[in-house]
Amino acid sequence: MADAQKIGMIGLGTMGSALALNLAEKGAHVVVQNRTEARVPEFISEAGALASNLEGAGDLADLVARLPEPRFIILMTPAGAATDAMIDDLKPLLSAGDTLIDAGNSDFHDTRRRTEQLEEAGFKFLGMGVSGGEEGARHGPSIMVGGTADAYAPVKGIIEAIAAKFEDAPCAAHLGPDGAGHFVKTVHNGIEYADMQMIAEVYGLLCDAGWDAPKIGTLFGEWGKCNLGSYLVEVTEAVLLATDPETGKPMVDVIMDKAGQKGTGRWTVIEALKLGQSATTIEAAVAARSWSAEPAVRAAGEAALDPAGLAKVEVSAEDLKEAFLAARILAYAQGFRVLQAASETYAWDLDMARVAEIWRAGCIIRSVLLDEISSAHRAGLPEGQLYLAEGLRQKVIAGLPALRRVVSGAALSGRPVPALASALSFIDTMRLGRGTTNLIQAQRDYFGAHGFERVDSDAKGLHGPWAGHGM
């Protein structure tokens, strides 16, 4: 099959516009269409020299008619019902062998269902996770593709061309069948939630210690030059140094403490639980955003529960740096554990080193750590655990005392650090050969005759001397 040279783009919002310009710049001829038709000529008129590689279509039928068979059409529309409706409208217009590429943030279950339905109808379908925001989409995002190898082959060249590059290697990969790409993108976003939450917790502790936003921003600027270097640390520096043009105050000081979310963090947590896993740092981050939506309730709590009686936070910037590095590694480790569980459950055979490699540039969670993480995966993880890979293990060990001081200091002063605390509890659980679930299993056996195993026997389903007490 010929490589895709002419490609359709439906949805000229933030991401679709940027991706269309990126495609045009890399030599593709892009036929663009948008629900609000007026956006099409406006977009082309703003495209400057790239306009010669762009062609506007009035409606879906017009878009389809302008593309040669087999067609390649990218959807950049809101995930969920809008994308389903778009596919339903397109299907009667397409020919067998045409390929639809959903580049939105779709739930991977939807991608699996759509793949089955479209393949049954003779079409090809790729679920393509795109990370990097508007800037990434325009100049080089990280691209996580799911679908058949056959469907990916004709678009591989152009997808790799538009992707970010890490030392000349494209940050785009075909990761597995059907929902694999969208699942990896979902977990990417889950890790993003955790990282952002940990940064916000560090910021909160520094605020309590009397630091103002520019001073904290400058500290993040310094951290960006060491092994904490990452896009999110850069973003944090930039937003903390910004001034509100209306009041002259630091911009963050006039922004409501109320964070939005579109679902990918929550999906990561839900899927982790369904897979028998747990991603507690990500869960803490999702919970923090959810609870942030209740400012009035929190204000009532502040008045009623008197947190003012607590001592001021006493943690050093150096401790925060070490603690954040250790916790960041643990958040990545949790994300990869979820990916591993999904890979086994859905038989995706995900190449974790490849996943880490394509996250090294272009995406929101890109960080200097990811090069080390991909090398650790390539070398093979001890017991399958990222935090046991030698270099990362050493960093976690080095950071743990600081993480303990930060979490305990925060607790004593009433400052919530749910993501940092959950990272600490996670690693403390995973470094205890014998924990306390022996008691839980005894309780379960007592009231439900669930049985247990003994430390000194291979026998299963044993019961304690409390037989008959069950309810």
Task: Please say which residue, 188 or 360, places its beta carbon nearer to ligand NDP.
Answer: 188
Contacts (Cβ under 8 Å, ≥6 apart) of 353:
374, 375, 377, 378
Q: Tell me: does residue 16 bind ligand NDP (CB under 6 A).
A: yes
Among 23, 67, 79, 216, binds ligand NDP (CB under 6 A): 79
Instruction: Consult the annotation and say whether 343 binds a ligand.
Output: no
Candidates 9, 60, 100, 130: give the one binding ligand NDP (CB under 6 A): 130
> Quick count: other Cβ atoms within 10 Å of Cβ 203?
20
Q: How far is the CB of 164 from ligand NDP (least distance, A)?
A: 13
The stretch among 28-36, 46-54, 66-74, 119-127 that binds ligand NDP (CB under 6 A) is 28-36
Q: 302 an active-site residue?
A: no
Distance CA 218, CA 269 (A): 33
Distance CA 231, CA 228 (A): 10
105 is in an annotated binding site: yes
Q: Greatest CA span in the chain, whole angstroms?
A: 82
- Would you say 23 or 420 has its CB closer to ligand NDP? 23
Which of 1, 3, 14, 97 contacts ligand NDP by CB under 6 A?
14
Please tell me whether residue 341 binds ligand NDP under the rule CB under 6 A: no
Is 237 labeled as catalytic in the residue annotation?
A: no
Distance of closest approach, residue 82 Cβ to ligand NDP, in angstroms: 3
Least distance between ligand NDP and beta carbon 196 (Å): 14
337 is in an annotated binding site: no
Residue 121 to residue 456: CA distance in whole angstroms? 58
Per CB under 6 A, does 34 bind ligand NDP? yes
By the 8 A CB rule, do 199 and 325 touch? no
Q: Which positions from 100 through 119 interact with ligand NDP, judged by CB under 6 A?
A: 104-105
The tokens describing 96, both together, are 């067998």
* Residue 92 vs 468, nearer CB to ligand NDP: 92
Q: What is the smallest separation between the CB atom of 452 and ligand NDP, expressed in angstroms?
A: 46
Only segment of 32-40, 233-241, 304-312, 413-421 that touches ligand NDP (CB under 6 A): 32-40
Q: Is 450 annotated as a binding residue?
A: yes
Nearer to ligand NDP, 260 or 433 (CB): 260
Q: Is 147 annotated as a binding residue?
A: no
93 binds ligand NDP (CB under 6 A): no
List 55, 192, 237, 322, catalytic entry: 192
Min separation Cβ 363 and ligand NDP, Å: 9
- What is the total count of residues that contact ligand NDP (CB under 6 A)? 22
Q: What is the 3-state secondary structure (H, E, C) of the chain?
A: CCCCCEEEEECCCHHHHHHHHHHHHCCCEEEEECCCCCHHHHHHHCCHHHHHHEEECCCHHHHHHCCCCCCEEEECCCCCHHHHHHHHHHHHHCCCCCEEEECCCCCHHHHHHHHHHHHHCCCEEEEEEEECHHHHHHHCCEEEEECCHHHHHHHHHHHHHHCCEECCEECEEEEECCCHHHHHHHHHHHHHHHHHHHHHHHHHHHHHCCCCHHHHHHHHHHHCCCCCCEHHHHHHHHHHHCECCCCCCEHHHHCCCCCCCCCHHHHHHHHHHHCCCCCHHHHHHHHHHHHHCCHHHHHHHHHHHCHHHCCCCCCCHHHHHHHHHHHHHHHHHHHHHHHHHHHHHCCCCCCHHHHHHHCCCCCCCCECHHHHHHHHHHHCCHHHCHHHCHHHHHHHHHHHHHHHHHHHHHHHCCCCCHHHHHHHHHHHHHCCCCCCHHHHHHHHHHHHCCCECCCCCCCCCECCCCCCCCC
Q: Is 58 annotated as a binding residue?
A: no
Would you count residue 76 as binding ligand NDP (CB under 6 A)?
yes
- Interface segment toward ligand NDP; rule CB under 6 A; list 31-39, 42-50, 144-152, 308-316: 31-39
Q: Which residue is nearest to ligand NDP (CB)?
A: 13
Residue 15 binding ligand NDP, by CB under 6 A: yes
Residues recorded for the chain: 471
- Annotated active-site residue in 124, 185, 321, 395: 185
Question: Applying CB under 6 A, which part among 34-42, 233-241, 405-413, 435-443 lies near ligand NDP?
Answer: 34-42
Single out the residue of 78, 154, 229, 414 in contact with ligand NDP (rule: CB under 6 A). Answer: 78
Own/partner pairs, 388-393, CB within 8 angstroms, 24+ separation: 392/329, 392/333
Q: 444 among the known binding-site residues?
A: yes
Q: Is 11 in the site for ligand NDP (CB under 6 A)?
A: yes
From candidates 8, 21, 39, 224, binder to ligand NDP by CB under 6 A: 39
**35 interacts with ligand NDP by CB under 6 A:** yes
Q: Minimal distance in Å, beta carbon 130 to ligand NDP?
A: 5
Stretch near ligand NDP under the rule CB under 6 A, chosen from 81-89, 241-249, 321-329, 430-438: 81-89
Q: Tokens standing for 359?
A: 């996250």
The residues binding ligand NDP (CB under 6 A) are 11-16, 34-36, 39, 76-79, 82, 85-86, 104-105, 130-131, 133
Residues making up the binding site for substrate: 105, 131-133, 188-189, 193, 262, 289, 444, 450
Active-site residues: which are they? Answer: 185, 192
